[in-house]
Amino acid sequence: MNRSDSIARIGKALASVQAELGGLIAPDSTNPMYDNRYASLAIIIGSIRAVLNKFEIALVQAPVPGTVGAVVMETMLIHGPSGEYIGSYCEMPVETLDSHGVASAQTYARRYGLMALLGLAQGPDDDGNAANNAAVESSVLLSQGEPEPSEQRVSNGHRLASPEAILAEIENSDVERLVSAERWVNSAQLDAHLSARLKGAIAQRRRIIQRQQSQHA
């Protein structure tokens, strides 16, 4: 942890912040490929900003140099009246070495670093498996019933829903969810034809998002 020589005053202010926040942030977003919910960066900052301001604590987050193939995010809390501060670093691997992969890793690192520094939790669900390539429990998987002849199974034994259902989720994904979808496809051990079809849909959706972003630039 990075900190000023004294943290007496910021420590007292943070105790008041934590008491007012209550320690829990309600999940507001769904990771479509992992069938779980998580608190987005926007909802976390929206939930804490007014309370931090009330106790005169500034929040600063910025990437710093670190390991190749990873993002290191520094989170700092600075107490205005005293100048005291505390900070920490959160390192997150970059799964795809492009702008989308870096942006996704930065978002995860900002979220986790901020919640850890403030001692917050987000309930029983989190999307850490998206960042760590953990076992897939996707919303496009069916966990009950016998498989139809045309259905596939992934390595954890769950049945896949129809390719159309998976494609529909990809076609409505934003940047962060698209990164999660790509990780899911790469880890789910699908047959070659379906894997190629889904990867093509992901690439097409990424091009659409890039065009939309360039039009609004």
The residue among 197 and 5 whose pLDDT is bigger is 5
Among 128, 158, 192, the domain boundary falls at 128
pLDDT of residue 32: 52
For the residues 95-108, what does the mean pLDDT come to? Answer: 81
pLDDT in tens, 8-50: 999 999 999 999 988 887 776 665 555 566 778 888 888 899 9
132-144 burial: b if 16+ Cβ within 10 Å, else e: eeeebebebbeee
> Does some domain include residue 133?
no
Residues 6+ apart with CB under 8 A from 117: 75, 77, 86, 87, 88
83-97 burial: b if 16+ Cβ within 10 Å, else e: ebbbbbebebebbee
The residue among 51 and 94 whose pLDDT is bigger is 51
Residues 6 and 100 occupy one common structural domain: yes
pLDDT, the chain, mean: 76
> Does some domain include residue 164?
yes
Given a cut of 80, is residue 169 above it in pLDDT?
A: no
> Does some domain include residue 96?
yes
With a threshold of 0.85, does the pTM exceed it?
Answer: no
